[in-house]
Structure 1
Amino acid sequence: MPKNRIASTSLLILLFFSGFAALVYQVLWVRELGLLFGSTAQAAALTIAIFFTGLASGGWFWGRRAPHTSSLRWFGWVEIGVALTALGHFALVDVYHALYPIFYATVGHSPILDTLVKAIIAATLLLPASFLMGGTLPLMVQHLVRHPNQLATVGTQLYAVNTAGSASGALATGFVLPLLLGFRNTYLLAVSLDFTVGLLAVLLASTKTEKSSISSDLQQKFNSDTKIPNRSPHLSLPNPLVWATAFSSGFATLGIEVIWTRLFSQVLQNSVYTYALVLSTFLLALSLGAAIANALSRLHRPAPPLILCGLLLLASSATAVSPWLFYEVTDGFTYLGRDLNWESYLSAIASVAGLVMLLPGMILGAVLPYLMRILETDPRQPSEQVGRLIAADTTGAILGSLSAGFLLLPLLGAWRSLLLLASIYLVIVAAIALLRTTIIRLVVAGVLVTAAVLLTGMNLQALQTVPIGTRANDRIVEIQEGSHATVAVVDTSRGGRAIRVNTYYTLGSSRNLHFEQNQTVVPMMTHPKPDSVFYLGMGTGITAGAALAFPVKLVVCELLPEVVSLSKAHFTPWTRGLFEDERVTVHAEDGRNCLSRSRDRYNLIISDLFTPWERGTGNLYTLENYQIAKERLEPDGIFVQWIPLYQVSQQEFGIIARTMAEVFPQVVMWRGDLAPSRSIVALIGQKQAQPLDPQVIARHGRYLMNQLEAIATPTSDEALTALLLRLYVGNITASKLFDNYPINTDDYPLIEYLAPRTHRQVQTGTARFLVGSEREHLYHQIRSAVNPEADPYLVNLTSAQYGYVNAGHNYSRYAQLSAQGSKQQARPYLEKFQVLSPSDELQDLSPASVLLRR
């Protein structure tokens, strides 16, 4: 291989890993600032906007100032600079975690000032490194372009390689690196890569005197203010139109990417893996688009403006067709790969993502790099041309992503937003056509503008009800396509009104009224004075509303503002005045962030049911989250983590239990119901280990019973105590069953990365969630490890009250066996339950259904 070819290949490898590291940074920065500011759409958008601002300003700055004879050396020093400034993350992020609550206490009352503080913090973390990143491509272009007519062929090749590196970085960060290295070491790996790339570039530049990027006679032409001869209007476009095209392309491309990602969230597991697969597919499409631009740049005919118009028309068509294409390949928004194993599931997603995104994305991705071909006759040096393109495109990308997420989706919905973005490409073609003065070209421009208007106004009624994936006989009450998610209120065919997020995730239902109320009643009945409660998550509002039966003040934080508004509009009959009661404060915010920045203290913090495998929810099961919660508790406070046993295996349950036990001196477990199979449980962590007081249960029960308008039959304190004690499972801390499980942390988010795999294994029958016999086996393990009589949490119980605990175990076993059809085996457990229950036993086994009956 010739030396020049070896050198060029070496530089392409360096640029590939530069792109790889950049995406690793981006993914980790979005995650870290999400932990600091909250995992909201606004916080993520702010992070991306500032990151892109750094890229845009860096591209413009370094493009104008790239040296003529030492650009490779400067590339190396810039890469080393990226590594050094990225290391500042470790010095600043801990400081900001300590300072942000103070800042919020000062300016949090003003959304504008709060956003400004967030922007300043994010800028100090992201701008230095991203500003330097923006200069890497222009500097490498400056080094490798030896002649003006090489700008397109060399520039598009470099753009393709750099973007392919970015796609690989997104894939590696989503699938491999965090579990292998942890997020901290993954970040350090990116720093090491950048430092190595920079050092190698400097060494390559020093092996011999670097030649001028452009021969001396042609360099004069690049530096001259005089246009290169033969710059025909048929071969080029005015620079303002080129920059406008780059801007519009960035706006449309990133807007389309945001909407495609939302569409995929309707049919996928929505784990960290599926998100990474969709993102990397899109980046790969952009890389392949640059390769297409490279091939087109080598054509002498047709004229470059005509080829550009062809790309723009194809981009418009591909975008306009994508709603119908998405509908067809997902079989009408059907959940993808429901019964597939892990590998087959990922393969199915990759196939669908490829069909929906790859070909259209390649066309979208070819527009920007092909503009280098249009600029070949520009007298400026190559780095300046590429830097200006990057600046224009990235500025458009910032506005496009923000507009799609916060303006287009809420106002127009996904389908119309895609058609509107498709029309942008037509408007650009019309603008190019208007440069010609003939009547025919004016007519073409008019036709294209008309087509853009028609696209935006097309009748999409056939697709309007697709994005919620309703079951047969369900009735959609209201849908909101908001900045965070697509949320719907549905009257279900099985009875009850439910909230669904992104088609398939049910947040709660009035059909399960008393089960949802139990999530409040069970823990509040155990606390001596539950007068201040924080809810991490709200859903329908039924759970939080149950607390209003007590003399209490509530703070409720729900991540999705669309859920808050829909719950307020459609669930007031079941929320006990949650949205009208002056004792309640509801925030449409990330719950973990609400806690971390708060200076208030609570008697109870209740963490709602969360889907463990969904991207972002793993942060709510980490050591750091539990430490934040412990700091916000009163001395006698308790933290309640509700867990859906029908969504976790023994592995995930053990990790969560072990992580809580690392923070709280005593963790105990309560049932949320005595249902036959699909149950929820609460792990309750105490800030100070204290035994349960059965008199507290009776006092609270009597208070709630007195709130009823009429009591059908007299009820003793013992019956009220039994009603709750039957739900007690055992002492997690004393059992020591989970001491050898790993701890889930922000650095090693095991739940977020393991739960999606378990989910797929359960779908194919190779693993089991904790339902049916698996649930009963877990209960038996905990009960066997620490008998109720030896449980330090139950030391104040009488012998009869120990019997109530055992009665609950027997009834749970009876219900499970009965549901399986084993009536004969089940009967002895029912008889034991009846013997151990008080004489005036309440017929209803749910505390909420007895105590909150209207």
Structure 2
Amino acid sequence: MDLVGGSAASSTRVFGCFFLGLALGAAVAPGLVRRVRRPWRALALAEAAVGLLALAGIYLPEWTGWIWPTLGTGRLLGWEGPAIKLGLSVAVVLPSAFFMGLVLPLLARAVLRDEIRFSRHGVWIYAVNTLGGVLGLTSVALLSLHLFGAGGSMALAAGINVLVAIGCLVLDFLSGPIDSRSPLSREERGERGGVSWAALGASFVSGAGVLAFEVLAFQLVGLVAPLSFYRPMGVLTAVILVLGIAAWAVPRVAGWVGGSWKLVFLALCATSLGMVVTPLLFFRCARWMDPGTEGTFYGFLAQLVVMALVSLGPALFVAGLVFPSVLAWHGEEGGDRYGRRWGWLLASNGVGGLLGAELAYQAVLPAMGVHRGMGGVGIFYGIAALVWALSRRPRSFGLLGCSVAAAGLAGLALVPLGALPHLNPQGVVILDERTGREGTVAVVDSREMGRRIIVSNHYVLGGTRLRYDAARLAHLPLLLHAAPRRVAFIGLGTGITPGAALEHRRVQAVVAVELSPLVVRAADRYFGPFNHNITRSPRARVVVEDGRIFLAASPRRFDVVVGDLFLPWSPGVGRLYSIEHFRGVRDALQPGGVFCQWLPMYQLTMDQFDMIQATFRQVFPSVYLFRNTFDCRYPALGLIAFRNGDLDWSVVRARCDEVRRNNDVLDPLVRHVEGVAMLYLGPLAPPGGTSAAVNTLSNMRLELAAGRERVSGKPGEKYIYGEAWLRFAYDWGLRHLGTDGQPDRRLTELAWMGQRLSFWEAVRRYRGPLSPEDLADIPVVRKEIVEGFPKPIRGDDRADWRQWPGDAKLVRPRLGQDALR
């Protein structure tokens, strides 16, 4: 559903439509199964409808590409935008989910009769259906997505639905219609009795509790497991597996404890206590089971699933007993021996799941955090056990006491649970911490990196120690445009990069598009002195929206668009490196507009970079490469292109003269055309005619490849920084300078000066033994830098030399340390 954006709100909207569709289908089913004489044929129609409607969803982005440009940013950010997103989610997801909701009740109608009873065999059907989810999830995530992409996987799933429909038609032909005149069939049709409020309520509680727990479990595991597409997949696999096993065990366990009603009660009480124990058990497991990035991909997945099973499994197992036990009790004491009214329970369970997940996102996580949120869910289960005990006549004071004790213990545990950390506090001071849909967003301070934002304990946004390098991400593209007035930044982060655009007097309006409202809050409250108070500036506007959709709704609006340093292994981020997104950016540019997409090379492998540049060049054939710093530890590479036209160094010179004359920007490197030239690597020229695959919204190639690399095989050894960055700068850019029509010999000399400065910084910061070649090059490189460094930059006394990206005393030796201002 990239059509409606990648925000947490959009994901929740799609998720809600899916559960609502399931619930509506299940609610319609009881009335339908009473009248169906050929259930296998009806089941075939339902399966075929699921497949055909899913196929329609594959092509919806192509059919609806006109919506956002027509809507415009004003209405996108008003009530119309969310309304259209909701409408699209309903149109794509709800119809197929509705027919999915019909499947289990129709299957029960076809299978359950005579001695095949709902209280046992119907529960097993539910268990097998749940366990089938494990097979579907793992086969899609590990196989079909890699082979066919998202669109191809949907088509494959639709094809499987059609094959199942054909199989159901064969069974319909073999079995024939049900004889509606027989006494047994009247009982099978469920014409006796209804569904008790107790069963409906317990079904609702089970759905709400399990989905709330699942939301919290994702956040909990995210505190230690590396962030990637495969992290939620591993956790969800464990969750579905445990729920399926619990459902399968219900008939046997119910016999052990004395009936299904008592099993529901015991399961509610046990879940209340299990929720409280889960965070404590999780942190103990995390000490000896570290699903890090040191092993193989499948080793990571196995360890993640085992950790989830051990830490989340006990509470999840007893929670998973509740709904199947209610089904069994409904089939026994409820009189629905053949599950003809099963749909009402499924519908109640689905609505509970929808509301439970939404409540966890909207209230539990923001108010209580992950750990105390688990305790809150435990209290919820304890209260449900009490209500369940009260629904029984005669009432048992022993059962009432057990339920009260379970809820009370869960409540008492809230205090110690609140002391558990959401962030590894080692080496940092936590200034602020908030939890929401997008995870835990913390503002921390440390001696090494200064103040920064950390999302979900893994994704680091900026750092005040690197603020001048971050500001240069804005300065550089703004200097390549003759008159940048309207500028858009995709990503706010700490706000340092978009805030730097306010230093340019020519810039009249800055728009920063950020996906997370918690990140916007952190940037506003804790980074104002570093980001020029961009969240409150009259020249700036911060928009909480998906960057791809916002730009698609902004045709021909901006002079410059800057893409932040997006880490491709983060779930959903790969769409910002897709060909569809790059086309949207091109369309959002004014004639002559500049697009700069910064790449975090220290988080990319060569294959991943090759895919990004190949995708970029599909939209922008002429691409220029720039670095933002001489530091090889955290290099950022800018892919710069123009909507029309080419890089004009006379424009760069005029713009540098302007900012120097106005004294707008104090960074000595970007105040001079010579400094910008030292950041230049040349036109993008893949070595050896490299041809790489293109990343699209449908194939998800970059996100899958980066996520897989992230969790296996020590990815840091494959990323492009240090010596690998110096080699890359030569192979992909510098070696082509002066050989492909570059007119200015001085430009080439300055670009190579930038490479020498990078080499010097790499040697200066290196802590290991140097090779004989490096030892021999050091004095030569130092001499070349001192003698060849541009005099206009060296003589700039109005610049703030603290912003120089490296050893300022080397390039300006007449200044002592106390003269650096």
TM-score > 0.5 by shorter chain: yes
* Residues 1:165 and 2:132 are matched in the alignment: yes
1:503 alignment partner AA: N
- Counterpart residue number, 1:580: 536
Moved more, 486-495 or 838-847: 838-847
1:535 alignment partner AA: F
> Could you report, residue by residue, the CA deviation over 1:426-470 in whole angstroms, capped at 9, with x for unpaired residues?
2222112223566x7357536634642552353435653511112
Alpha-carbon distance in 2 for matches of 1:753, 1:300: 46
- Counterpart residue number, 1:95: 63
- Counterpart residue number, 1:269: 226
The answer as to whether partners of 1:535 and 1:544 remain within 8 angstroms in 2 is yes
> Residue 366 of structure 1 is aligned with which of 300, 305, 321?
321
> Residue 748 of structure 1 is aligned with which of 686, 690, 699?
699
Alpha-carbon distance in 1 for matches of 2:250, 2:795: 74
> Could you report, residue by residue, the CA deviation over 1:208-229 in whole angstroms, capped at 9, with x for unpaired residues?
42556x994344445676669x
Quote how far apart the aligned CAs of 1:729 are.
Answer: 0.8
Structure 1 pair 74/781, CA: closer, same or farther in 2 (3 Å)? same
1:99 alignment partner AA: I
> Residue 475 of structure 1 is aligned with which of 423, 426, 429?
429
1:780 alignment partner AA: Y
Alpha-carbon distance in 1 for matches of 2:251, 2:339: 17
The answer as to whether partners of 1:141 and 1:154 remain within 8 angstroms in 2 is no
What is the DSSP-based 3-state SS (H/G/I as helix, E as strand, rest coil) of the residue aligned with 2:312? Answer: helix
Quote how far apart the aligned CAs of 1:833 are.
Answer: 2.8
- Counterpart residue number, 2:300: 345
2:294 alignment partner AA: D
Quote how far apart the aligned CAs of 1:110 are.
Answer: 3.3
> Could you report, residue by residue, the CA deviation over 1:225-249 in whole angstroms, capped at 9, with x for unpaired residues?
6669xxxxxxxxx810110000011
The answer as to whether partners of 1:532 and 1:604 remain within 8 angstroms in 2 is yes
What is the DSSP-based 3-state SS (H/G/I as helix, E as strand, rest coil) of the residue aligned with 1:573? Answer: coil
What is the DSSP-based 3-state SS (H/G/I as helix, E as strand, rest coil) of the residue aligned with 1:637? Answer: strand
1:773 alignment partner AA: E
- Counterpart residue number, 1:811: 757
What TM-score, normalized by structure 2, do the two folds share? Answer: 0.91
> Could you report, residue by residue, the CA deviation over 1:353-397 in whole angstroms, capped at 9, with x for unpaired residues?
121233332222221112121112434573432111110000000
> Residue 521 of structure 1 is aligned with which of 475, 486, 491?
475
Structure 1 pair 751/220, CA: closer, same or farther in 2 (3 Å)? closer
Alpha-carbon distance in 2 for matches of 1:726, 1:171: 49
- Counterpart residue number, 2:739: 790
> Residue 85 of structure 1 is aligned with which of 53, 65, 87?
53
Structure 1 pair 687/319, CA: closer, same or farther in 2 (3 Å)? same
1:80-479 equivalence runs, <5 A = 80-103=48-71, 107-111=75-79, 113-147=80-114, 150-210=117-177, 216-221=182-187, 239-296=196-253, 299=255, 302-331=258-287, 336-376=291-331, 377-380=333-336, 382-436=338-392, 441-442=396-397, 444-445=399-400, 448-449=403-404, 451-452=406-407, 455-456=410-411, 458-461=413-416, 464=419, 466-472=421-427, 474-479=428-433
The answer as to whether partners of 2:687 and 2:732 remain within 8 angstroms in 1 is no
Moved more, 557-566 or 800-809: 800-809
What is the DSSP-based 3-state SS (H/G/I as helix, E as strand, rest coil) of the residue aligned with 1:688? Answer: coil
* Residues 1:45 and 2:12 are matched in the alignment: yes
Quote how far apart the aligned CAs of 1:300 are.
Answer: 7.8
Moved more, 369-378 or 338-347: 338-347
The answer as to whether partners of 1:142 and 1:381 remain within 8 angstroms in 2 is no
- Counterpart residue number, 1:5: none
How many residues in Structure 1 have an aligned counterpart in Structure 2?
Answer: 795
The answer as to whether partners of 1:497 and 1:510 remain within 8 angstroms in 2 is yes
What is the DSSP-based 3-state SS (H/G/I as helix, E as strand, rest coil) of the residue aligned with 2:422? Answer: helix
Alpha-carbon distance in 2 for matches of 1:159, 1:85: 24
CA-based RMSD of the aligned residues comes to: 2.9
Alpha-carbon distance in 2 for matches of 1:324, 1:566: 29
Alpha-carbon distance in 2 for matches of 1:757, 1:447: 47
The answer as to whether partners of 2:555 and 2:589 remain within 8 angstroms in 1 is no
1:813 alignment partner AA: F
Moved more, 493-502 or 84-93: 84-93
Moved more, 584-593 or 441-450: 441-450
Percent identity over paired residues: 23
> Could you report, residue by residue, the CA deviation over 1:150-175 in whole angstroms, capped at 9, with x for unpaired residues?
10211111111111121222222222
Alpha-carbon distance in 2 for matches of 1:398, 1:412: 20
Quote how far apart the aligned CAs of 1:306 are.
Answer: 1.2
- Counterpart residue number, 1:833: 785
The answer as to whether partners of 1:63 and 1:135 remain within 8 angstroms in 2 is no
1:217 alignment partner AA: P
Structure 1 pair 846/59, CA: closer, same or farther in 2 (3 Å)? farther
* Residues 1:567 and 2:529 are matched in the alignment: no
Quote how far apart the aligned CAs of 1:267 are.
Answer: 1.5
What is the DSSP-based 3-state SS (H/G/I as helix, E as strand, rest coil) of the residue aligned with 1:460? Answer: helix
* Residues 1:56 and 2:40 are matched in the alignment: no
Moved more, 505-514 or 832-841: 832-841
The answer as to whether partners of 1:156 and 1:369 remain within 8 angstroms in 2 is yes
Moved more, 832-841 or 275-284: 832-841
Quote how far apart the aligned CAs of 1:842 are.
Answer: 2.7
Quote how far apart the aligned CAs of 1:477 are.
Answer: 0.4
What is the DSSP-based 3-state SS (H/G/I as helix, E as strand, rest coil) of the residue aligned with 2:113? Answer: coil
* Residues 1:649 and 2:598 are matched in the alignment: no
The answer as to whether partners of 2:26 and 2:101 remain within 8 angstroms in 1 is yes
- Counterpart residue number, 1:629: 585
1:759 alignment partner AA: R
What is the DSSP-based 3-state SS (H/G/I as helix, E as strand, rest coil) of the residue aligned with 1:382? Answer: coil
* Residues 1:778 and 2:744 are matched in the alignment: no
Alpha-carbon distance in 2 for matches of 1:452, 1:248: 15
What is the DSSP-based 3-state SS (H/G/I as helix, E as strand, rest coil) of the residue aligned with 1:811? Answer: helix
Alpha-carbon distance in 2 for matches of 1:718, 1:708: 12
Structure 1 pair 37/718, CA: closer, same or farther in 2 (3 Å)? closer
Quote how far apart the aligned CAs of 1:40 are.
Answer: 1.0
Alpha-carbon distance in 1 for matches of 2:416, 2:185: 58
Alpha-carbon distance in 2 for matches of 1:72, 1:225: 21
The answer as to whether partners of 2:665 and 2:671 remain within 8 angstroms in 1 is no
1:702-781 equivalence runs, <5 A = 702-708=657-663, 720-732=672-684, 734-735=685-686, 737=688, 739-760=690-711, 763=714, 767-781=717-731
The answer as to whether partners of 1:46 and 1:119 remain within 8 angstroms in 2 is yes
Quote how far apart the aligned CAs of 1:724 are.
Answer: 1.3
Structure 1 pair 118/382, CA: closer, same or farther in 2 (3 Å)? farther
Alpha-carbon distance in 2 for matches of 1:221, 1:513: 74
What is the DSSP-based 3-state SS (H/G/I as helix, E as strand, rest coil) of the residue aligned with 1:503? Answer: coil
Structure 1 pair 103/800, CA: closer, same or farther in 2 (3 Å)? closer
